[in-house]
A and B are shown apart, each in its own frame.
Chain A
């Protein structure tokens, strides 16, 4: 009994877990739709479409459904469509950013004679072609009302309606096609109707707000580069389109190539008819001449019908979807849409067709940082709102852009009294786009110029001292470069011969820190350890051979130098990987010459081989020597951080005793014998290794050369920080 109870409990638990999992999926999961459906009902919630979804029969979409279309996602409807969202629970059909899906296609003849297309309270955004009535489509009626068509990226159409396949003479049926109370805003394309005047479609386009759209085209303003356009032919006589009580504002033709505003672009018409009624619409202005500029008709093309737009509305109707239709200065004077904004505005007056709610509105100001670059600054302004019926005064309480560069204002997230969407408002955007274009051209020119420069070899010489001392904006730590040096050291002085490479060559090792000061100037410090040695026996000078001296000394030196870099330190281009530099500097070296006597090495300085210790007027030389040097480097930049290269530096020492042989007379052997020098034999030997009769001669004869040395070799260096 108890076992049965336990089992039942287990089953109940499993059912509960499954139930939770199902609920979670329903709440947070998303449903991917694909393929063909005889009928399709899309419930409230998230859905994804990544391919073609064809619905042969009725498509039903519930309020609250959110359908994401990912390229090449499209919904093809071959039957009735019923999309009824609620005012506060809309249906959303939207494209995925950067992979925007197509939209909805209405096609084919529906076998059900009374099937309708009913699209209400739907948001279409970020799509390529939200609604496309394909050629040969036919339904009993179409009602597109209370929808938002916003920020759709496609440049073909927002709504495109091609002709249905009616028999011209025999078929008396027709389609009622209503487009009412919709908002079209922030789109890149137009509403296109193949035949606005038709015997088989009765168009009613009314009470829409068509605001702030940019129709993409080319520089020339024509029929199709208007936010609403179509044909009006004499061939048809049955239904004249009813286009009234719409509000057209801030709609422009934008050039495809330059992304700049070309022209106002409200309505375009063509065909054989003489006229078309376009009365009782608000057309963005109260000035007839301005309105006329936004219409493409007989005025511009003699073969096109004349658009009868008078009387026009001076303000949009309150029944239209809420929107701002006019922007004024604080003194209520008209604010030109071409205004160049360099000085910050103190405020704006926005005129709307209904009372708007600015409580959550975002008032932003975007401006360029400098005169020519693409760098821009986005700022959010603080402001006061003073509503006055349908006119609202926004006073900016904190100004920005002290640099007075071109910018524009954007006021978004405005809502209407019912919480509905209100198109955003832009001020100074036309001038901003023009300046943006100028800057893009400049940037492209600069890019081309740099590319051209980098191909020129060898690098051109710097044109002025000023250029070489240009400041570097790079962070301090990125200016440091650390290097490891190795190579050979060759002594060049008293005990050496004129042919440099016949002298002894010893290993040279060093570490180096380089610091970039200006564009072409850098400073470096090197700590080096090396040996110097040589012997008169190597000399091809008989006198030196007869002298028979030799030495070896360990050197430890610190040197600092200032270098001129032939290639600008700020540049890193693949064409300038080889970077030569020259420099001068000072060094200090510790040295201690020694020699071998009877198989034993002796330090020579304490022996006073020049007689320093037998003459009270003399003292042993210092084992620290100051010096100066010239250096040359050729660096090969492997990449931005690493480089290898060849180096050479020529050093001259202030001391003549690097080799222990200075300008001293040969000391008397007797005096050395009588001196307090510990190793007299050794001192005697090194004072005159060949025991020549050298009375009155100097030890550094015959060449009396100043001591120095040359270091050369290879190096590897690296910037530790970017």
Chain B
């Protein structure tokens, strides 16, 4: 009789303990299970705007020349010039419609470095642009030419 009472008591305790354990685990899960959003840095975000995130169908972005401003004045572009496109791939590759290819880097915010790699000579030529504007549909790059003139190229997305 005592044994049965004891067994019954132990069973009840077991159930109680199980329920308390479930509650405890549930509360731990609730605490640690919540999603945490880590915001991208401005640098990362700029890179993604320029070249995509690397997710499906978002591995590269192609920008077409739309206008150009030299020392504050619009430059009249030819049809051929207007069809000029730059393609930046999320993994850092670069090519354009002039058949140049190479790599791109943004190591500093608003500084885009393009490196053309000449396959035949295996030599490299780098240009650093200031990013004047970039959003999901527009890109403006400016560069100081050798003669001190500032030229701004405006591109639009063509994906």
Contacts and interface: CB of A to CB of B under 8 A. Distances in A.
Interface of A: 486-488, 504-508, 533, 536-537, 542-543, 545-546, 548, 552, 596-599, 636, 644, 646, 669, 673, 680-681, 684-685, 688-693, 713-714
Main secondary structure of the interface of A (DSSP, over half): mixed
Contacts of A506: 34-35
Given A487-B26, A596-B37, A690-B53, A644 B136 contact: no
B42 interface: yes
A507 B34 contact: yes
B57 A692 contact: yes
Nearest to B35: A504
Given A546-B55, A599-B39, A691-B61, A644 B45 contact: no
B19 A690 contact: no
A596 B39 contact: yes
A495 B148 CA distance: 50
Interface string B107-150: 00000000000000000000000000001110000000000000
Interface in B7-55: 19, 22-23, 26-27, 29-30, 33-35, 37, 39-42, 45-46, 49, 52-53, 55
Contact of B57 (A486, A487, A690): A690
Contacts of A508: 30
A548 B55 contact: yes
A684 B137 contact: yes
B159 interface: yes
Contact of B42 (A552, A598, A669, A714): A598
A692 B159 contact: yes
Given A599-B40, A636-B19, A691-B61, A713 B53 contact: no
Among B34, B42, B136, B159, chain A packs the most CB atoms within 10 A around the CB of B136
Given A644-B23, A669-B137, A684-B135, A486 B35 contact: no
Contacts of B97: none
A114 B145 CA distance: 153
B93 interface: no
B56 interface: yes
Contacts of A487: 26, 30
B142 to A, nearest CB: 18
29 contacts: A487-B26, A488-B29, A488-B30, A488-B34, A504-B35, A506-B35, A537-B55, A542-B57, A545-B58, A546-B58, A548-B55, A596-B40, A644-B19, A644-B23, A669-B137, A673-B137, A680-B135, A681-B136, A684-B137, A685-B49, A689-B136, A690-B53, A691-B137, A692-B57, A693-B158, A693-B159, A714-B23, A714-B26, A714-B27
Interface in B62-90: none
A684 B19 CA distance: 51
Contacts of B45: 597-599
Nearest to A673: B137
Contacts of B26: 487, 646, 713-714
B87 to A, nearest CB: 13
A552 B33 contact: no
Interface residues of B, number: 31
A690 B35 contact: no
Nearest to A601: B39
Nearest to A541: B56
Interface of B: 19, 22-23, 26-27, 29-30, 33-35, 37, 39-42, 45-46, 49, 52-53, 55-58, 61, 135-137, 157-159
A597 B39 CA distance: 9
Given A533-B37, A693-B158, 11 more contacts: A487-B26, A533-B35, A537-B53, A545-B58, A546-B58, A552-B37, A644-B19, A685-B135, A690-B53, A691-B136, A691-B157
Given A596-B40, A598-B42, A684-B137, A505 B57 contact: no
B42 A599 contact: yes
A486 B53 contact: no
Nearest to A486: B30
Contacts of A691: 61, 136-137, 157, 159
A383 B38 CA distance: 90
A597 B23 CA distance: 39
A690 B39 CA distance: 17
Nearest to B19: A636
A681 B135 contact: yes
B30 A714 contact: yes
Contacts of A690: 52-53, 55, 57-58, 159
Contacts of A537: 53, 55
Nearest to A504: B35
A504 B36 CA distance: 8
Contacts of B46: 598
A688 B157 CA distance: 12
The 5 closest A-B pairs by CB, nearest first: A546-B57, A504-B35, A681-B135, A545-B56, A542-B56
Contacts of B29: 488
A688 to B, nearest CB: 6
Contacts of B39: 596, 599
A506 B33 CA distance: 8
A684 B49 CA distance: 12
Nearest to B157: A691
A486 B56 contact: no
Contacts of A552: 37
Nearest to A506: B34
A545 B55 contact: yes
A57 B61 CA distance: 126
A546 B61 contact: no
Contact of B33 (A488, A546, A646): A488
A548 B159 contact: no
A667 to B, nearest CB: 11
Contacts of B19: 636, 644
Contacts of A598: 42, 45-46
A548 B90 CA distance: 15
A507 to B, nearest CB: 5
Contact of A685 (B23, B136, B159): B136
Contacts of A542: 56-57
Contacts of B57: 542, 545-546, 690, 692
Contacts of A548: 53, 55, 58
A713 B34 CA distance: 12
A693 B55 CA distance: 15
Nearest to A490: B35
Contacts of B159: 690-693
Contacts of B158: 693
A685 B133 CA distance: 14
A505 B58 contact: no
B48 to A, nearest CB: 9
Contacts of A681: 135-136
B156 to A, nearest CB: 8
B136 A546 contact: no
Nearest to A687: B136
B40 A688 contact: no
B84 to A, nearest CB: 19
Contacts of B61: 691
B42 A684 contact: no
B47 to A, nearest CB: 12
Contacts of B41: 599
A318 B58 CA distance: 122
A669 B158 CA distance: 12
A675 to B, nearest CB: 13
Nearest to B31: A507
